[in-house]
Structure 1
Amino acid sequence: MASTSDRLGNAVKALEQALASLENAVDARSERLQHREELENEVRLVHEDRAGLARELDQAQFRANRLEEVNREVSRRLVNAMETIRSVLAHEK
Structure 2
Amino acid sequence: MAPKLDDAMKRLDIALGLLEASVSRRLEADRRRGGLETELQLMQDDRARLAEELDGALTRLHRFEAATDDVSRRVRQAIGAVQTVLAQAGQFEPEEG
Q: TM-score range by the shorter chain?
A: 0.7 to 0.9
Compare 30-39 and 82-91 and name the one that shifted more. Answer: 82-91
Report the AA paired with residue 32 of structure 1. Answer: A
Structure 1 residue aligned with 2:20: 23
- Aligned equivalents of 1:86, 1:21: Cα separation in 2: 94
1:73-84 pair list within 5 angstroms:
73-84=70-81
Greater relative contact order (CA < 8 Å, ≥ 6 in sequence): 2
Residue 49 (1) aligns with residue 46 (2): yes
* Offset of residue 83 of structure 1: 1.8
- Which residue number corresponds to residue 69 of structure 1? 66
Give the drift of 1:67: 0.8
TM-score normalized by the length of structure 1: 0.84
Spell out, residue by residue over 1:14-71, the C-alpha distance to the aligned partner (whole angstroms, 9 max, x if none): 1111111111000011111111111112211221222222122111111111111000
Q: CA deviation at 1:81?
A: 1.3
Structure with bigger helix share is 1
C-alpha distance in 1 between matches for 2:61 and 2:55: 10
TM-score (norm 2): 0.81
Unmatched tracts of structure 1, length 5 or more: none
* AA matched with 1:48: D
> Which 4+ residue blocks in structure 1 deviate beyond 6 angstroms?
none
- The unaligned stretches of length 5 or more in structure 2 are 91-97
Return the alpha-carbon distance in structure 1 between the equivalents of residues 86 and 54 of structure 2. 47
Percentage identity across paired residues of the two chains: 40
Count of residues paired in the alignment: 90
